[in-house]
Structure formats: structure tokens, C-alpha cells
Amino acid sequence: MKNLYLIRHAKSDWSDENKSDFDRGLNKRGEKAILTMAKALKEKKVIPDLILSSSAKRAKLTAKGLAKEIKYSGKIKYIDALYMAEPETIQELIKDVNDKYDTLFVVGHNPETTELSNMLIDDYIDNVPTLGIVALKLPINDWKAFKIGKGKMQFFIYPKMFK
């Protein structure tokens, strides 16, 4: 069995209108949400074996922040192709993951996170909000076998649930 966590980046900072979408960081609410969601992951005893993250600044900061707070010391792989990716692109990136990793975090953006989540589960998620986490258990032994419609949702959590 493989475990996949699809994670949307935390709330981004729109205060500097001159920054490109790619270079926007996190606002205070986003930074606070990292602490909230890391606590929830720790309570569920979730630690990834590998983190894949979009190389956009807000996704990088989310990945680094979560990693620090849950005491993850492994590798974070920043991938340009996860920015503005089609769900199929994300699927191909997941298929390329080394099979020695059983638990994978993919930190990305919307609408892709919501779309891919819905392609993988029998349920329906209207929207994965900022720093929402969709946890999936996949009935596969190697990532190359990763397919649409094969996931079983373990949980779906987001910051407003913990207020």
C-alpha cells in the first residue's frame, strides 16, 4: 500500500501587487495555518518519506514549514512542472517516484489539487481550501501502478476545521 497526501499551499500574500503570481509568499494566516495543520498531522502520526512541491514561493514555504513542524528531515523535491500543472502531469510525476518511498506529500495549487483528488476518489470534494490536505491510501505496491479512480480517502482536513 502507498499513501498519498495532496496538499494545497497555505494562504498567499497579495500585499505587493508588483510580485508575480509565482513569487508570492505567505500571509500571516497562511503561516499560522502551517502550525495548525502540522499539529493535526502529528496527531495522526503522519510523516512522509518524500515531499514533492511546486517551485512557486508559496508552495515552497508551505512544504518547508510543514516539514520543519512535523520534524521531517528527508528530501523536499521542488518541481517547476507542479506549478500550473494539469492533473495528468501530476499523475505522471507521482508515477516517477522511487518505490522505496511509501508515503508521499505533493504540495501544489488549485484547481489541480481539487481536480486530482476528485479523479482519485469515489467521493466528491467541492474545493480543497488553502492548506487543505487530502489523504489517500492507494492499493498499489509501486508508484508506476498509480491510476485514476484507485484511491481510498482516509481523511480530508483544512485549517478552518480546527478553529
Query: Which cell numbers in the block locate residue 84?
Result: 500550473
pLDDT surpassing 90 at residue 107: yes
pLDDT surpassing 90 at residue 22: yes
- As a whole number, the mean pLDDT across the chain is 95
Percent of residues, the chain, with pLDDT higher than 90: 90
Query: Which cell numbers in the block locate residue 148?
Result: 485514476
Range 50-54 average pLDDT: 98
Contact 104, 94 (CB under 8 A): yes
Residue whose cell numbers read 528531515: 73
Residues in the chain: 163
Residue 159, pLDDT score = 97
pLDDT surpassing 80 at residue 163: no
Distance of CA 138 to the CA centre of its chain: 16
Range 40-61 average pLDDT: 97
Range 131-160 average pLDDT: 94
Contact 155, 44 (CB under 8 A): yes
